[in-house]
Amino acid sequence: MGKITFQNTNNPTITMAAVLNLPPDFGEKKTYPAIVVSHPGGGVKEQTAGTYARELAEKGFVTIAYDASYQGESTGEPRQLENPYVRTEDVSCVVDYFTTLPYVDNHRIGAMGICAGAGYTANAALNDHRIKAVATASLVNIGSMFRNGWENTVKDAEAIQYLDAGSSARTADASKAEKARIPLAPEKESDAPNEELRQAWEYYHTSRAECPTAPGFATARSLNQIITYDAFNKAEAFLTQPILCVVGSNAGSKWMSDDLLARAASKDKKMHVIEGANHMDLYDGKTQVHETISVIVPFFTEKLAKA
């Protein structure tokens, strides 16, 4: 169907920009399972989220890839706010929109996300049980990553400096100074500490996948929400839906998928490991995306089947 807009039901002053994808056999009098696909921190719907949304639609699902509030082509000020609580609510706002579509079966809605979008997806699902199944690719719990580092080598308390930086940014914002920002991917190749994160720079800042609406940074004030955020808070009680985590064997971020599966209350949870793949390979690596789709499609087909 293409690009659409709809009102954000959590904040009606925001207009969400999205891409709606329909299955090849689409008929308005039929009903279909639906999947909301959430982009990484710093990303937009035209990048990896859009890739997965299109691939899933080809397999029979109604899908939406969308731009987060304050980002991409969605509205909201300040631009590039990365408030994880808002991003979690955005997932449910897309579910809200799905329920208004006569061709979507409201009892067969799933959600997937990539990187931080996967963490937000898990958090949305533990809050919102209209989401019946969860799939993740290269999952990142953005709070854990900012607190503990890419490979979980930093203690929580050492992140206090980032809380202070967030507070300083808010003070500066209040005086209408130029808004401070933080990178969500290395802004220069020389900033990357390893090959995996060098590929993150390459993805967002070169022809590999750069997009004018995805500058790859967030407002520094976002640190006040990010640092104390836990995408899996109370997962041991409330995240009961089926879960599939797809990760690369060489991904520095793999520990966060391990953490989700260890903590989630779900009795139907599993991991698929793509051998030799790193975090970024699942964004746009042809063979890695193909393998991810090859396990996610049967997962959603089974879990979102008609009762």
Averaged confidence pLDDT in the chain: 97
Strands 131-137, 243-248: pairing is parallel
pTM for the model stands at: 0.97
**Whole-number pLDDT of residue 51:** 98
Q: What is the CA radius of gyration of the chain?
A: 18
Instruction: State the CB neighbour count (10 A cutoff) for residue 7.
Output: 14
Straight-line distance from the first to the last Cα atom of the chain, in angstroms, rounded to the nearest whole number: 27
Q: Are 199 and 278 in contact (CB under 8 A)?
A: yes
pLDDT, tens digit (0-9, with 9 covering 90-100), for 228-287 = 999 999 999 999 999 999 999 999 999 999 999 999 999 999 999 999 999 999 999 999
**Whole-number pLDDT of residue 179:** 87
Measured CA to CA, the distance from residue 243 to residue 63 in angstroms comes to 18
Q: Are 67 and 40 in contact (CB under 8 A)?
A: no
pLDDT, tens digit (0-9, with 9 covering 90-100), for 132-158 = 999 999 999 999 999 999 999 999 999
Measured CA to CA, the distance from residue 275 to residue 249 in angstroms comes to 5
Measured CA to CA, the distance from residue 66 to residue 36 in angstroms comes to 8
**Whole-number pLDDT of residue 178:** 83
**Whole-number pLDDT of residue 177:** 73
Return the amino acid letter for 199: Q
Nearest one of 49, 76, 48 to 222, comparing CA atoms: 76
**Whole-number pLDDT of residue 97:** 98
Measured CA to CA, the distance from residue 138 to residue 3 in angstroms comes to 26
Contacting residues for 70 by C-beta, under 8 A, at least 6 apart:
14, 76, 77, 78, 79, 80, 81, 82, 83, 86
Q: What SS3 class is residue 185?
A: coil
Return the amino acid letter for 31: T
pLDDT, tens digit (0-9, with 9 covering 90-100), for 32-81 = 999 999 999 999 999 999 999 999 999 999 999 999 999 999 999 999 99
Q: Are 99 and 107 in contact (CB under 8 A)?
A: no
